[in-house]
Amino acid sequence: MKKTVRDYIRTIADFPHEGIMFRDVTTLFADARGFRMAIDQLLHPYAGERIDKVVGLEARGFILGGAIAHQLTVGFVPIRKKGKLPGQTISQAYKLEYGEAIMEIHEDALQPGERVLIVDDLLATGGTCEAGIKLVERLGAAVVGCAFVVDLPELGGRKLLERLGMSVHVLCEFDGA
C-alpha cells in the first residue's frame, strides 16, 4: 500500500496537556521519502505561479519553508515570536487560546509588490497565520497562498483564512484538537 503524508505523522496523546492529541510532524521530517513527498505536494498548487519569497512561521514552518524556498530558488523569510529577530522589526499581536502573543518580521524582509507563499506545519485556529498575513501585507507584499501539512478543521483556521481571501492548501486533516 502506498503511503501518504498523513501516514508519516505520529499522534501523541495528552501532549502538551491532557485531552490534546498532538500531531507530531517530526516523524514526517525524519523520513526522507515522507519529507520529500510533503515538500513536493506543498509546492504543487503553485507550479508556474510567480513567487518571490517563502515566509515560514515559527518554528516548524522554518523547516518546510526553507526546503520550499530552495526548490523554488527564492529567498526565505522567517516570522518569529517577539524578541527573537535582531535588527528593526514590525510586530503583530494575535490571540491564543489563553491570552495573546506577538509575531515579528524584519522591516526590510519584503519589498512592496513581492508575491509571498506562507508555510507552516499545522493549521489550527489560524491566528498565527493571520498575524503573518498582516505582517506581509503591512510591508506591501501580496500573499499568493498559505500552505500547511496538517489541518485541524474543527478549530476553524481554514475558514478564517478563506474569509480573509486567502488560498489555503493542506495535505491532510485530523479530527479533534
What cell was used for 91? Answer: 510586530
> What domain range includes position 77?
49-173
Which residues are designated catalytic? 60, 97
Query: What are the C-alpha distances in Å from 124 to residues 46, 87, 168?
Result: 22, 30, 13
Number of domains the chain contains: 1
14 within domain boundaries: no
Q: Answer whether residue 1 is part of any domain.
A: no
Question: Residue 177 has what pLDDT?
Answer: 60
Interatomic CA distance for residues 108 and 9, integer angstroms: 35
Q: How far apart are CA 121 and CA 23, in angstroms?
A: 10
Determine the pLDDT at residue 67: 98
What is the full per-residue pLDDT of the chain (177 aa) written as tens digits? 899 999 999 999 999 889 999 999 999 999 999 999 999 999 999 999 999 999 999 999 999 999 999 999 999 999 999 999 999 999 999 987 778 999 999 999 999 999 999 999 999 999 999 999 999 999 999 999 999 999 999 999 999 999 999 999 999 999 876
- 7 located within any domain: no
34 located within any domain: no
